[in-house]
Structure 1
Amino acid sequence: MDGTEREALFEHVLVDDVPLPDAPLARVIGQLRFGTLSVLASGDDAAQAFVKELSESYPFIEQGLEQTLLFTPGQPIQQAEVGKVWRLRSADRQSVVALTNGALTLETEAYTGRTNFCGELVRLAGILQSVTRVPSYNRIAVRYTNRLAGAATLTQLTKLVQPEFLGLVGAPMGSGTQLSYALSQSLLSFEGAAKLLVQFGLLPEDGTFDPTLPPIGEQNYVLDLDSYEEFPDPRQALRGEADAVSKAAIACAERAHTLFRWAVTEEFLTHFGGKP
């Protein structure tokens, strides 16, 4: 339902997916963060064992150094320490697994639904636990970056996206005035450790709001949903077992999906090949 008929945001959490064959997903990222592990700091054996276990599904490897960037809502980007990173790529190069001494990340451009994606993240976590005995995680996140581009889509943007997620996009402009850039950011907090960082707006040609997201050569609209749970108290950290990771990952994905469905219209779903 659109407009005033819509129920309150997060009145209910939506579980059922509407498959979108032409979904405008630029990427989906799942990440588990953990404290620095002695087994990874003492040498490369554990990391190499992790790589070996994934050699069939992720046959290509890149190893190097990576500088971590910390993103905090409303704060400047902070640089953390430089450390080793093992980056594994799938045979079709559409999916990447990255391991550092502090984070396990899965990124894909070939998303086939949250069940499969969260299942793969859980599988990776299980392999990591088997070689490092990581006891718990202090953060879990599932992030969706939607990017709408092309004149045929952008000219219909006000019909595809709800007004709350448009800002000045679609507002009448005087002669000689053009909206070149508009980006909004909101942070939603839920009971417990869950949060949802929402970023949306219109980007110019070759523009980006995130250094990890490559720009494209045309104007585009982005809807970025970073759903996560943080556990600063080690006594309340997310357990490393598969069932705990699975439950948390699915919950993150469902919160992002609920906001996504609230942000877009039924016409959006049909525009990208769905059958609402």
Structure 2
Amino acid sequence: MLCQVQWPEHTLLSTRFSAVADEIGTRLSDEYPLSPVIQGISFELDAQTGQVRPQAVPAVRQWVSVDDTWSVYFAPTFVTLENRGAYTSREDMTQRFARVLSVVFELTSLPAAQRVGWRYVNRIEDPLEYADLGELVHATVLGAGAVPAPSNVELVHSFTESLFRSDRGNLLAKWGFMPPNATHDASLVAVSNPSWVLDIDAFDESRSAFEPEQLLGRLEELTTLAYGFFRWSVKESFIDRFGG
């Protein structure tokens, strides 16, 4: 699960990104003291020589909690809070992100945000739970998995992607079955078993002032939108087994 705010390129972060990132990391170090550095590489094709030259791209800075369940990512155009397994409530997530946004705003005075998003990813990979999918989720998100098949027929891959727009925000939902060692998103590590995924991304791409309280209010609305789709997708037995 993650929440994110993006903004247009800003002069301060184009020229002093490392210094600003260092200060943000220091301010957040009581909760996120670990700081692995992520450095990306891009490749540029020289049109005259035909040679491909590697180039460093701006680093994404990461700060991680001691138990490795919470991560903050900061880049020249976004900040993200991610949870990997210790999630307790939407309120906890929102309070943590409120602090992150406050620190970013204090040190950058960013004038505008251009995308706000909240993403839930649910994946069932345990063989016993996978076998019970029909009892856990509604047929609408089982897709081809809800079609009766002979015992000698195996569903290997089936995936659906749908984008919904409303006056409450946008919602990109992806769901389906993945074979072993496959993933629908490069940011998600593949697993060795067959899996079922429900990936919900609620977002708003309208430009607004970078005011932490206003952005958090918008995130709350998007969270409600995403959670509503989640509850529509799963049965009470899913909630009883996994929470929600």
Q: Which has the higher contact order (CA 8 A, sep 6+)?
A: 1
Work out whether 1:115 is the aligned partner of 2:88: no
Q: What amino acid does structure 2 have at the position aligned with 1:36?
A: E
Q: Secondary structure at the match of 1:261?
A: helix
Task: Report matched runs for 1:1-276 at 5 Å.
Answer: 28-43=1-16, 44-66=18-40, 82-109=57-84, 110-174=86-150, 176-191=152-167, 194-231=169-206, 237-272=207-242
- Cα deviation, residue 147, structure 1: 0.7
Q: For this pair of structures, how many residues does the alignment match?
A: 229
Is the CA contact 1:31–1:140 (under 8 Å) kept in the aligned structure 2? yes
Q: Secondary structure at the match of 2:197?
A: strand
Q: Percent identity?
A: 26
| 116-125 or 222-231, larger mean C-alpha shift | 116-125
Q: CA RMSD in A?
A: 1.7
When the two structures are superposed, what TM-score results if normalisation uses the length of structure 2? 0.89
CA distance in 2, matches of 1:243, 1:67: 35
Q: What amino acid does structure 2 have at the position aligned with 1:195?
A: N
Q: What amino acid does structure 1 have at the position aligned with 2:235?
A: T
- Cα deviation, residue 264, structure 1: 0.7
Q: What amino acid does structure 2 have at the position aligned with 1:52?
A: T
Q: Secondary structure at the match of 1:210?
A: coil
- Cα deviation, residue 187, structure 1: 0.6
Detail structure 1 runs of 4+ shifted over 4 Å in the superposition.
Answer: none
Q: Secondary structure at the match of 1:45?
A: helix
When the two structures are superposed, what TM-score results if normalisation uses the length of structure 1? 0.79
Is the CA contact 2:125–2:191 (under 8 Å) kept in the aligned structure 1? no
Report the CA distance shift for 1:67/1:230 in structure 2 as closer, same or farther (over 3 A): farther
What 5-or-longer segments of structure 1 have no aligned partner? 1-27, 69-80, 232-236
Task: Give the structure with the larger helix fraction.
Answer: 2
Structure-2 residue corresponding to 1:9: none
Q: 1:26-67 CA deviation, whole Å, 9 max, x = no partner?
A: xx0111101112112212222211111011111111224236
Report the CA distance shift for 1:262/1:67 in structure 2 as closer, same or farther (over 3 A): farther
Is the CA contact 1:119–1:246 (under 8 Å) kept in the aligned structure 2? no
What 5-or-longer segments of structure 2 have no aligned partner? 43-55
